[in-house]
Amino acid sequence: MHVLIDSTGLEIHSAGQWLEENHGARSRRSWRKLHLALDADSGEIIAQVMTDQDTGDASQVEPLLDQIDCPIRQFTADGAYDGKPTYDAVGNHSAGAAVVIPPRANAVERTDTEPGGKRDRHVAAINTDGRMTWQAGIGYGTRSLVETAIGRYKSIIGRRLRARCFGAQQTEVAIGCAVLNRMLACARPKSVRCGKATA
């Protein structure tokens, strides 16, 4: 399975925002972060985690991977996930998985005696051929599929959580992801190649 991961913010509609809209009172907006894992081949959301707005993206890789039972062929994410914890989490889940995460612009290869890892190979390829050539050669463009899924979630389910307590918000997000998967399964065309009729 080729897994794509990204996160987005969902607004919490609280009484403070109601006061702001109706009475002009100022309130501090708060968010929840929705972390999604997508199967690149089917477009299905295969794992989701919701956290508070201050939680780092890379810290949620392991909870997402824990929800995936089958082995991973490739793991693709954006630069926010770059770092040893992400590579370790993917390696613990599926040892042979290819990890495609663009290293930071100031990343350098390790100079110690250990053999170069996956990240070091990415850094070397970018230093040799450039970032755009590396992205095209490694298939980094498929990451746009998870961004499309996030856009689909926000346009169909909504940008704002309706539930008030955290447990109910987690349930709301899980139901929203299940609804999107059901809609995707219903709308996916099933086509079969017909044989030519012989005269």
Q: Are 90 and 68 in contact (CB under 8 A)?
A: no
Structural domains of the chain, count: 1
Contact 118, 98 (CB under 8 A): yes
Is residue 156 included in any domain, yes or no? yes
Q: Is residue 196 part of a domain?
A: no
The pLDDT value given to residue 174: 93
For residue 113, the model assigns a pLDDT of: 41
Strands 160-161 and 31-39: unpaired
In a domain, 198, yes or no: no
Nearby residues of 108 by Cβ (< 8 Å), 6 or more positions away: 123
Report pLDDT digits (tens) over 93-120. Answer: 988 888 888 877 666 666 554 445 777 7
Tokens read off for 84: 């040893």
Q: What is the pLDDT along the chain (199 residues), one digit of tens a residue?
A: 899 999 998 888 655 555 666 666 555 567 889 999 999 888 899 999 998 888 888 888 899 999 989 899 989 988 888 878 888 898 889 888 888 888 776 666 665 544 457 777 777 777 777 778 877 888 888 888 889 889 989 988 988 888 888 889 899 999 999 999 998 888 766 667 777 766 5
The answer as to whether 70 is a domain residue is: yes
Distance CA 32, CA 9 (A): 6
pLDDT at 184: 85
Q: Whole-angstrom Cα distance, residue 52 to residue 56?
A: 9
**199 found inside a domain:** no
- Residue 191 inside a domain? The answer is no
| 74-76 and 160-161 strand pairing | unpaired
Give domain status of residue 63, yes or no. Answer: yes
Whole-prediction pTM value? 0.76
% of the chain exceeding 90 in pLDDT:
14
- Please give the residue range of the domain that contains residue 77: 2-186
What integer pLDDT is reported at residue 67 of this predicted model? Answer: 92
Q: Is residue 159 part of a domain?
A: yes
Give the CATH number of the domain where residue 114 resides: 3.30.420.10
